[in-house]
Amino acid sequence: MKYISRWLEIRLAEALKSHPVVVLTGPRQVGKSTLLEHAGFLKDWRYLTLDDPDALEQAREDPKGLFWEDKPTIIDEAQRCPELLLTVKYLVDKSERRRNFILSGSGNISLRQAPRETLAGRAKYLHLTGFAFRELHGGLPAQGLLGQIWAGREIEASYVKSSADMAHAVWRGSLPGVVLAPNEKIALERLSSYIDTYIQRDIQDLVNIRHPQHFRRLMEALAQAAGWESVQEELSKACGETRTNVSRYMSLLKDTNLLYELKGYAVKSERSYKQSKYFWFDSGTACFLAGIQSTADLKKPHVRGRYLENFVLQQILSWASLQLTAPEILYWKPKAGEDEVDFVVCSAGKAVGIEVKSKDQIAFGDTRPMREFLGSHLQVTKGIIVYAGDKIYPVATNVYAVPWTAF
């Protein structure tokens, strides 16, 4: 299969010019190893993976011997041997920062706890997401609409040509193996394998979970409530665990970048809703865990909108991973029971509101929550309503309808 270049390659190449070490993290199977093995500018690097039992044994018992060759080195699955980071620090310092390393792994807990102390001032941290929708369609600029807004350029009305099916894109999500699967049956098998591997290998490597079936039920409950405010007491009843364990398991899901918590946006003295909302890193994984077994199930109106929101968050996260300073992603709700703005993206002194609607057309009446938000938050420059149509156009002052394929 032909390698599909990743947008993050440019950020990785830039980071290596200013830092001797780059730590590349991200959920399992988003394409970290594939990128490191196929990116053209890394073709002369030495590649080691600690999935290799011999390499792992030597990393633990003879780390200096593992790096006998004085050349740039990639260490994949580095979370399997956190103590190796001391040797990397030693070699970087001994070479007066001339020796380069890339450390990659999906176990973010290990990679975050150890290297920030060991590699302080030496390492740049990058995060790889699954495929952005536009990333799969070669030749499209990485910064996209959000980059255009942050660059201060105006949004112009235009038609967006695409033959893509929205339900298909949302159901497949962003994992390369699932997105590129030849049919839905194989995609389902890969999603099932993904969840089983995560529970049986990744989580068990980090902590001992006495009842894996309860952990899975919690994942399913969170997926069924994607984009809703989740209360731990309700989650506790759904999965059969104590609230303490639910809190601990949710922290694990967040630390391994599978679950994202969005807090309420508020300026000083504003009394807005503060309950957190939760989304999955990948709409395909969320659909699978929620029991949505086909694209046909996603075409039900009460289901489609929620997972389209999750899909749009994927696109925001992909854009955010390319920025020099990590943007903050929140949501806004004036108080319980009222309409909300699904996402508020804040970066470099700017903020943009984003709503998601699964409708084919957006009318002025659909902009009321966004107009209320913009009117009470003058620092927010624009509002975007992502929808199922094919035209970018202004719906109200500083509020634009944008097709899901263009976002």
Q: Average pLDDT, stretch 35-41? A: 95
Q: Which pLDDT score, from 0 to 100, does residue 156 have?
A: 85
Choose among 331, 335, 294: nearest CA to 313: 331
Same domain, 165 and 90: no
Residue 374 counted as domain residue? yes
Q: How many domains in the chain?
A: 2
For 202-250, write each residue's pLDDT tens digit. Answer: 777 777 788 889 999 999 999 999 988 877 888 999 899 999 999 989 9
For 57-92, write each residue's pLDDT tens digit. Answer: 999 999 999 999 889 999 999 988 888 989 999 999
- Kindly report which listed range (10-24, 294-308, 355-369, 384-398) carries the lowest average pLDDT score: 294-308
> In which domain, by residue range, is 96 found?
8-127
Give the type of residue at 37: E
Residue 3 counted as domain residue? no
Choose among 232, 393, 264, 278: nearest CA to 338: 264
pTM beyond 0.85, yes or no: yes
Same domain, 238 and 355: yes
Same domain, 121 and 139: no
Same domain, 37 and 152: no
Q: Which pLDDT score, from 0 to 100, does residue 272 have?
A: 66
Q: Which pLDDT score, from 0 to 100, does residue 2 have?
A: 84
CATH code for position 23: 3.40.50.300
Same domain, 94 and 222: no
Single residue among 71, 105, 127 that ends a domain in this structure: 127
Phi-psi region of 398 (alpha: psi -120 to 50; beta: other; left: phi over 0): left
Distance (Å, whole) CA 275 – CA 169: 29
Same domain, 214 and 265: yes
183 pLDDT higher than 60: yes
406 confidence band (pLDDT: 50, 70, 90):
confident
Same domain, 44 and 81: yes
Q: Average pLDDT, stretch 122-150? A: 87
Same domain, 38 and 157: no
Single residue among 105, 127, 149 that ends a domain in this structure: 127
Residue 165 counted as domain residue? yes
107 confidence band (pLDDT: 50, 70, 90):
low
Give the type of residue at 244: T
